[in-house]
């Protein structure tokens, strides 16, 4: 039963003490988040793992790329686990390393040594390694603006992997016009761009988040017509027109902070993953919160981490037959760490 599983998890946590650490991303289910030792957005969780020295076992409640990042940022005597190996990220899967090397070759021929690659942390360790060895950095939705500015201080152009929406929204935010942005199509292997090459400043990888693409201008129009006093706040993984028509946008942590700081009775429509919207509704009954898309939008892969998988993973550690270990090979890890390090140590 659920309560038996919960009891068993509590017992294992108690017996392992500080040797066990469970980070949980804001999109995780409540049945999992109740056992998290720390919750956060992608940036916070990366920082927390980097600074944790005592935990031998880090059971990451999030998706595969987050567990890889945790492995890269921790020491070799710390082991990272993902309770369900099928918890991937469809966006991260949209850029593989072979497509990326092929794109880079084309872009180097066309633009020479004028491009700095950046990757959203929602990417494989191999992509982070590619970015690291080419002088670039990772970004999260919390620091994208700062890192993109850092990149433009060094090179005339950036290649932004793998989320076209976060890339476009961030570049637009710092003043790059849309007609100076190209889109690399990794399936057709072509640059979608109609302007003169000299004007091209941003090359966006044609990837997206399958959750945040479900928030539309139609959802916004409906709210504006029926409830003009409702504040619309969205994640920057939403398409550009959606972000432009919203009242505010930011990372999961930013969204939580805005709701927490608002006056009681404020009406909100939130454009992000369902578990976080539902949790905010429960925790802030003094506010009036709905999802921007009435159908609610779950991240199917995030939701694969559930109570039975968490228990199974902890049980395997407790009996000394650990499974689901995430171990990035040492050369990939070293190069990926260069990209993460440039982000975490606030480049300027
Ligand atoms: P943040 O928590 O950094 O806002 O990221 C959102 C997300 O989509 C994670 O996969
Ligand atoms: Fe990937 Fe989107 Fe799910 Fe985040 S919400 S893990 S970006 S598919």
pLDDT of residue 83: 98
- Residue 55: beta bridge partners? none
Q: Could you name the CATH architecture of 92-209?
A: 3-Layer(aba) Sandwich (3.40)
SS3 content of the chain, % helix, strand, coil (to 5): 45, 15, 35
Q: Could you name the CATH architecture of 212-291?
A: 3-Layer(aba) Sandwich (3.40)
Ligand 1 binding pocket mutation candidate from 24, 92, 122 (most atoms within 8 A of CB): 122
Q: What atom of ligand 2 comes closest to residue 89's alpha carbon?
A: 1
- Provide block-wise average pLDDT over 10 residues at a time, the chain (348 residues): 97 97 97 98 92 96 98 96 98 98 98 98 98 98 97 98 98 98 98 98 98 98 98 98 98 97 98 97 97 94 98 96 95 98 80
Whole-prediction pTM value?
Answer: 0.97
**Intrachain domains 92-209 and 212-291 with the same fold:** yes
Q: Which ipTM did the prediction report?
A: 0.97
Ligand 2 binding pocket mutation candidate from 27, 29, 62, 63 (most atoms within 8 A of CB): 63
What are the structural domain ranges in the chain? 2-88+302-328, 92-209, 212-291
Q: Is 162 annotated as a binding residue?
A: no
pLDDT of residue 313: 98
The rounded Å distance from CA 190 to ligand 2 centre is 25
- Residue 290: beta bridge partners? 269
**Nearest residue by C-alpha to atom 6 in ligand 2:** 89
Please state, in angstroms and rounded to a whole number, the distance separating the CA atoms of residues 306 and 302: 9
Domain 2-88+302-328 has CATH 3.40.50.10800: yes
Q: Is 141 annotated as a binding residue?
A: yes
Please state, in angstroms and rounded to a whole number, the distance separating the CA atoms of residues 160 and 166: 9
Q: What atom of ligand 1 comes closest to residue 141's alpha carbon?
A: 3
């Amino acid at each position: 039963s659920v309560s038996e599983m919960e009891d068993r998890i509590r017992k294992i946590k108690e017996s392992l003490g500080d040797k066990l650490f469970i980070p949980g991303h804001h999109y995780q289910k409540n049945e999992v988040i109740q056992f998290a030792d720390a919750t956060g957005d992608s940036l916070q969780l990366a920082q927390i793992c980097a600074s944790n020295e005592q935990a031998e076992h880090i059971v990451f409640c999030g998706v595969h790329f987050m567990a890889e990042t945790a492995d890269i940022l921790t020491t070799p005597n710390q082991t990272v686990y993902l309770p369900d190996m099928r918890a991937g990220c469809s966006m991260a899967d949209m850029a593989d390393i072979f497509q990326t090397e092929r794109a880079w070759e084309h872009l180097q021929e066309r633009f020479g040594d004028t491009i700095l690659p950046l990757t959203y942390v929602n990417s494989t360790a191999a992509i982070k390694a590619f970015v690291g060895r080419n002088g670039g950095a990772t970004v999260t939705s919390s620091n994208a603006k700062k890192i993109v500015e850092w990149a433009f201080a060094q090179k005339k152009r950036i290649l932004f992997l793998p989320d076209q929406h976060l890339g476009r929204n961030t570049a637009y935010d710092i003043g790059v016009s849309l007609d100076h942005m190209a889109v690399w199509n990794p399936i057709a292997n072509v640059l979608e761009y109609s302007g003169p090459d000299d004007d091209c400043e941003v090359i966006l990888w044609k990837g997206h988040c399958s959750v945040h693409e479900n928030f539309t201008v139609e959802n916004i129009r409906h709210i504006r017509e029926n409830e003009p006093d409702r504040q619309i706040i969205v994640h920057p993984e939403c398409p550009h027109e959606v972000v432009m028509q919203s009242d505010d946008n930011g990372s999961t942590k930013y969204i939580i902070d805005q709701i927490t700081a608002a006056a009681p009775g404020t009406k909100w429509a939130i454009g992000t993953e369902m578990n976080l919207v539902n949790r905010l509704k429960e925790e802030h009954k003094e506010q009036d919160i709905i999802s921007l898309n009435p159908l609610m939008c779950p991240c199917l892969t995030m939701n694969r981490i559930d109570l039975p998988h968490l228990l199974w993973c902890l049980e395997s550690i407790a009996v000394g037959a650990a499974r689901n270990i995430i171990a990035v090979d040492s050369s990939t890890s070293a190069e990926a760490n260069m990209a993460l390090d440039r982000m975490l140590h606030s480049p300027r």
